[in-house]
Every structure is written in structure tokens, then in C-alpha cells.
Structure 1
Amino acid sequence: MNAPVQGRHKDRNFFEKTVMLDGSSFTGCAFARCTMIYSGGEIPSLSGCRFDECAWQFGGEAANTIAFLSGMYRGGFDRMIESTFHEIRRGAMVSQDQGTAPESDASAGTARFLKPLRIFRVPKQEQNP
């Protein structure tokens, strides 16, 4: 089995690789039939990359966060989760500093997003008819 890809890479092509995204940086890379894994660690940088037939997986803390949000959605906080996804679609405004952030009002179904956080940019894929 090949070792997972991780670290800093520029202008490289990856085929059928396991790519550990946590803390990694990829610029101008192409990924084909790769498994992309994010486990909730340091936010990766993906700039100008292309993804063809890649699978995306979430492990560790990232998987825990998704499970938590899913449970909240099923547990009556669907408005808050939908609001959170709406903010993500708009550019993900989140609080970086817990000490200065106002508390969210979960009972009202709102989440507070304060500071812009740009995770990564991926160019839009062309759709084949």
C-alpha cells in the first residue's frame, strides 16, 4: 500500500492516492480518483486544484462535528443548522475568538458568525451534459 500524501505540494498530479488534508497545502495540483481525508486538524490550503472522481471523507474531530450537527438537526435544531449552512454558502463567517464573541441563542435557533474565515478555494468543475 502506498503511503498517504501529505505536506506542501505545487503543480503535481496525484492518481489513486490517499490524501491527508490536515495541515497540507496544495497549489495547482490535479487529483484523479483520490481519497481526500480531512480529520479536523489544521485547515488545509487548496488553491487552483482540480478534482476528478475523488471521494471526500471526514474522520476524527471533523467526523464528530458532522455527527453532532446531524444529531442537532434531528433533535429539533433544524432551523439553526439550516442557518449555519446558509452562512457557509455565503462565505462562512465564524468566531475566531471565543472571549469576545457573544453567545449564540440556541433556543431561538440562531448561530452567530462574526469573523470571515476562508478555508480554501476550489475552482468550479465544468459539468458534462
Structure 2
Amino acid sequence: MTDKIQGDYKDRSFFSKNVALDGSSFRDCVFSSCTMIYSGGEVPALSGCRFDDCGWQFTGDAANTIAFLSGMYRGGFDQLIEATFHEIRRGAVIGQPVAAKQETRTSFPTASLLKPLRIFRVPKQEQ
């Protein structure tokens, strides 16, 4: 897999490609035997896509974030990390569109249109 895909795509199929997700948008695409790579940059837009036998890699800032969360979990902050995952399961996302903007056929929401992640607290542990 030497080919690297990045950009804005609609109704395309990709086979055995490295796909750089940062800043990319994919709508109604099919990925087969691809490696999906996120480095912690601009949040990608993935809508209506199918992933068959794909691997997922986190590099750069994304890998650092996962390593940090893993260290926190092992370092006694397991309830905070579990609460974070609970919020993710409930639908917490990096952001939501601030204003409904007329989208063209090839435009997708970008990080500049997003509200900040909602903040939550973990209750104090009883000892």
C-alpha cells in the first residue's frame, strides 16, 4: 500500500490504499482493504461510507492523545476515562455545526464551523 489518498471525494471506491483522513471528506465512498490514518489534524467528514477489511491507525497528535488517555487510565484516572467514553457513547462529539449553512454538492462542514466539545466532570470518588 504505497498510494496515499487525501482530499474531497464522493461516490468513489478505494482498494488497498493508505487514506489520510486529516482534513479530508468522503461521502458515500467504499473502502476495501485500506489503512485509514488519522493524525489529529482537522476532523475529517465521513458520511455514508462503507469500510470492508480496513485497518485504522492513529499517528502524530492523535497517537499522543491515545497514549495520554491510556496512561491516565493506568495511573488511577480510570473513572475519568470511563466517563469520557460514556460521553462519547451518548453522542459527545468534537463539535456540532454552529449555523445551518447551505451546503453545495461537494462541500462538507469543517472544524471552523464547530462548537467546542461539552465539558463534563466525574463525581468525586468515595474512599
Letter in 1 for 2:116: Q
- 1:41 matched to 2:41? The reply is yes
What is the alpha-carbon distance in structure 2 between the residues aligned to residue 76 and residue 107 of structure 1?
Answer: 14
Residue in structure 2 matched with residue 123 of structure 1 by the alignment: none
Inter-partner Cα distance in structure 2 for 1:75 and 1:10:
43
Structure 1, unaligned runs of 5 or more: 110-129
CA distance in structure 2 between the aligned counterparts of 1:39 and 1:107, rounded to whole angstroms: 32
**Which SS does the other structure have where 1:79 is aligned?**
helix
Q: Does 2:80 correspond to 1:64?
A: no
Q: For each residue in 1:25-66, what CA deviation from the matched residue of structure 2 results, as whole angstroms up to 9, or x when unmatched?
A: 000000000000000000000000000000000000000000
Q: State the match for 2:53 in structure 1.
A: 53
Contact 2:83–2:122, Cα closer than 8 Å, also in 1: no
- State the distance in 2 between where 1:65 and 1:41 align: 12
Aligned match of 1:79: 79
Match of 1:32 in 2: 32
Could you tell me how far 1:105 is from its partner in structure 2? 5.9
The aligned residue for residue 23 of structure 2 is 23
5+ residue gaps in structure 2?
Answer: 95-114
1:76-126, CA deviations, whole angstroms, 9 ceiling, x for partnerless residues? 0000000000000010156728xxx87x767937xxxxxxxxxxxxxxxxx
Q: Which amino acid aligns with 1:58?
A: F
Aligned pairs, number: 105
Corresponding residue of 2:98: none
User: Which letter maps to 1:79?
Assistant: Q
Q: 1:89, 1:105 → 2: CA distance? A: 16
Match of 2:4, SS state, is coil
| Residue equivalent to 1:120 | none
Question: What secondary structure is seen at the aligned counterpart in 2 of 1:108?
Answer: coil
Sort the Cα spacing of 1:31 and 1:93 in 2 relative to 1 into closer, same or farther, 3 A.
closer
Identity %: 65
For the aligned residues, what is the CA RMSD? Answer: 2.3
